[in-house]
Chains A and B, each alone.
Chain A
């Protein structure tokens, strides 16, 4: 049913550390690999050998430039379904294919009843849902529902594929409804935040902000004595200015 559960016993979700993410795309590719054979199969691509290769992926890693001047920084930003507490993608669904599980809060699409109307993708402000044109149904992050409860896996593998793949430990998985869980404590300690809190969908996934720089010398402007030699315009001055610039490379 597309009506939302009153409460969920757990709030399973991800905590993504924007401080340690290096934008390597390992989470995105491992997600694609796992889900092309798991719950979301087939997860198709189109025109793969042509001039417009594109396809359905459930996790996308952006890179942003944030701030200006010496304080600017590059932030790598993985983006996937946030498994909101009150997701509009579920309530707009006309068929009941989109649903939020009362047991653990995971938002899923039933691929056997989805009609591919795409309205859920319009309702999501996070661009988290991607329509599979070959399969004719909507696809989204399943939080690797087919891994996390899989008892044939070693315990350390019972996490979403993106979490298992992250080489810098920037992705954490757990119950954000339990204030004592490791992920909840991490969010508390690092002041994790919601994306677009003003939209009111109460995302479960949290993001951790980049830490303050410990050593600002490399980022600050060069000290006066080290500044490039400013030539007055004579040939010798310009030669020394050129030499200074070249040697400083």
Chain B
């Protein structure tokens, strides 16, 4: 599948934003951090900015962005519609939490209510994002039970890395956030490795013979293409990354997204001076950002679409 940059930015930025929102909401509800208005403003500001940038980036993928509001209507059948609704609903508790944290509560219990409602709303939104892809049986690499869980865990992990940086930058103890990051990153690494194993070993069940119905006469091989230049289907569905490049990029994304940020998280557990903590947490955030972009690019580039059987033959 063609790795569209708008969709890669959408899923990674909004994922990290929802992850950070979830951890800040948990921290506020459990009083794990002081009610520092500056921390709330910057923390929730970054989270909502990442979410908003991601959602705006996703509209760049549309042919008619001015009609995007129409996407909220078909929640009964469409995961994309559900994702849009969940994303908008999440702004309400997140807004209540943010305003209460920064300006003080307008109504009693505003912070706790907003925080506890933000967590399920954000989790549901990221789950819906994953299900947009996981609900497509035409793409074997996406029609996998681990797709949506990986989206959620990577959102929590990248959000945890950002939270560690935020706490370090404000001079608060980042150790609990570092532990959260290390645990969620390790879980993400485990699930992503299982996912890669699954797509490498899952049988390719669809054939050019079934696609044309001509299997009874023998193998089916493309002879004359229907057109000389690639059409939309080939441009959108025909993108393929070479196997050996995919191997290299998988290793690169493991290094940048899991190994380095986990190492950084463990270093943050040591009682280092604040400037070192900030430097380590910054490097972890940059590394995780590059890593998750690579991981998401691969998620698209490695995915093969059944429709390409008509053009390439073989199996998918």
Do A and B pair up? The answer is yes
Which residues of A are in contact with B by a Cβ distance under 8 Å? 1-3, 18, 23, 28, 52-57, 60-68, 71-75, 77, 79, 88, 90-97, 113-119, 121-127, 130-133, 135-138, 193-199, 207, 209-210
Judge whether B227 and A54 touch: CB under 8 Å: yes
What is the CA–CA distance of A79 and B223 in the complex, to the nearest angstrom?
A: 15
- Give every chain A residue within 8 A of B222 (Cβ-Cβ): 62-65
Q: What count of chain B residues pass the 8 Å CB interface test?
A: 61
B254 interface contact, C-beta 8 A: no
Residue of A nearest to B85 (CB): A94
19 A-B pairs besides A119-B80, A198-B205 with CB distance below 8 A are A62-B310, A64-B208, A64-B220, A75-B212, A79-B226, A94-B78, A113-B67, A114-B64, A115-B63, A115-B71, A122-B237, A125-B211, A126-B211, A127-B310, A133-B63, A133-B232, A136-B63, A193-B213, A198-B210
Q: How far is the CB of A128 from chain B (nearest CB, A)?
A: 8
What is the CA–CA distance of A221 and B316 in the complex, to the nearest angstrom?
A: 35
Judge whether B63 and A93 touch: CB under 8 Å: no
B246 interface contact, C-beta 8 A: no
- Give every chain A residue within 8 A of B205 (Cβ-Cβ): 198
B199 interface contact, C-beta 8 A: no
Which residues of B are in contact with A by a Cβ distance under 8 Å? 1, 61-65, 67-68, 70-74, 76-81, 84, 132, 135-139, 205-206, 208, 210-214, 216-233, 236-237, 305-308, 310-311, 313
Residue of B nearest to A197 (CB): B210
- Give every chain B residue within 8 A of A124 (Cβ-Cβ): 138, 307
- Give every chain A residue within 8 A of B73 (Cβ-Cβ): 94-96
What is the CA–CA distance of A131 and B235 in the complex, to the nearest angstrom?
A: 11
With contacts A57-B231, A60-B226, A117-B80 known, is A2 near B71, CB below 8 A?
no
Q: How far is the CB of B56 from chain A (nearest CB, A)?
A: 14
Judge whether A93 and B78 touch: CB under 8 Å: yes
Judge whether B77 and A92 touch: CB under 8 Å: yes
Q: How far is the CB of A143 from chain B (nearest CB, A)?
A: 20
Residue of B nearest to A111 (CB): B64
Q: How far is the CB of A206 from chain B (nearest CB, A)?
A: 9
* A and B contact pairs by CB, cutoff 8 A, 9 listed: A64-B212, A64-B221, A68-B218, A93-B74, A117-B61, A126-B307, A127-B308, A195-B210, A199-B137
- Give every chain A residue within 8 A of B1 (Cβ-Cβ): 122
With contacts A92-B80, A94-B81, A94-B84 known, is A115 near B212, CB below 8 A?
no
- Give every chain B residue within 8 A of A53 (Cβ-Cβ): 228-229
Residue of B nearest to A118 (CB): B236
- Give every chain B residue within 8 A of A72 (Cβ-Cβ): 218
Judge whether A122 and B217 touch: CB under 8 Å: no
What is the CA–CA distance of A119 and B132 in the complex, to the nearest angstrom?
A: 9
- Give every chain A residue within 8 A of B68 (Cβ-Cβ): 115
What is the CA–CA distance of A138 and B67 in the complex, to the nearest angstrom?
A: 14
Q: How far is the CB of B144 from chain A (nearest CB, A)?
A: 15
What is the CA–CA distance of A133 and B61 in the complex, to the nearest angstrom?
A: 11
Highest count of chain B CB atoms <10 Å: which of A1, A23, A74, A95: A95
- Give every chain B residue within 8 A of A199 (Cβ-Cβ): 137-138, 206, 306
A-B complex: 6 closest residue pairs judged by Cβ atoms: A116-B63, A67-B218, A136-B63, A127-B307, A63-B224, A94-B81
Residue of A nearest to B65 (CB): A115
Q: How far is the CB of A95 from chain B (nearest CB, A)?
A: 4
Residue of A nearest to B132 (CB): A119
Judge whether B214 and A95 touch: CB under 8 Å: no
Contacting residue for A97 out of B70, B212, B228, CB 8 A: B70
Residue of A nearest to B226 (CB): A60
